[in-house]
Amino acid sequence: MSELSKSRQIFVTAKDLFFKHGLRKVSINEICLNSGVSKMTFYRNFKNKKAVALTIIKEFCDNGAEDYRKIMASELPYYLKIKKIISSKGEYSKGLSKELFADINSGYFNEIRAYISNYQGNFENELFNDFSLAQKNGEIREGVKIEFLIYMIRDINKKIIDAELNKLYESEEAVILELTKFFFYGILPEK
């Protein structure tokens, strides 16, 4: 197996373990054992557990943003773009554990939290532009402040880790989907 393949195997294994059990509970030994590589090989590819976790989070965010951009660039009507975005968000959130979200927001992995915060800030600018264009085209209600929509998205991101809300749902995926659908559809049936 080439070094690139070993690096990818470590990445895939760590991602699976982190998504299931969170970041803190998974050890480098566990990653090595499950990926079939030695510790030496792990350290040749990643500085430490936080480095592999940050690499995973970056790819996760980049892939989600790329899918969003593809959907928004499509010729679909806006309401169908929204349906595809919700479906895509559901696919991306599959397998994410409450432990993963708790670990990211605990402060233990400050580099990851800082990256996500910066990523969300940059992505909010993109959303602002997309919402503004959609409003100009009559696809978002006239008069609603785009700044309000961005504020509500920030609030939704906070609610994803809310303990009280999470008690109502069996999985992180279900919470994310419910919040996303609520944002776009309110309490009305989906079209």
Q: Tens-of-pLDDT digits for all 191 residues of the chain?
A: 566 699 999 999 999 999 999 999 999 999 999 999 999 999 999 999 999 999 999 999 999 999 999 999 999 999 999 999 989 988 888 888 888 888 888 877 888 989 998 999 999 999 999 999 999 999 999 999 999 999 999 998 888 878 888 889 988 889 998 999 999 888 777 66
What Å distances lie between residue 112 and 49, 87, 179, CA to CA? 12, 25, 23
Neighbouring C-beta atoms of residue 172, cutoff 10 Å? 21
Supply the pTM of this predicted model. Answer: 0.86
Beta strands in the chain (DSSP E): none
Contacts of 68 (CB under 8 A, 6+ apart): 85, 88
* Residue extent(s) of CATH 1.10.10.60 domains in the chain: 3-45
CATH number of this structure's domain 57-185, picked from the four choices 1.10.357.10, 3.80.30.20, 3.20.20.70, 3.20.20.80? 1.10.357.10
User: For the domain 3-45, what is the CATH code?
Assistant: 1.10.10.60
pLDDT at position 34 is 96
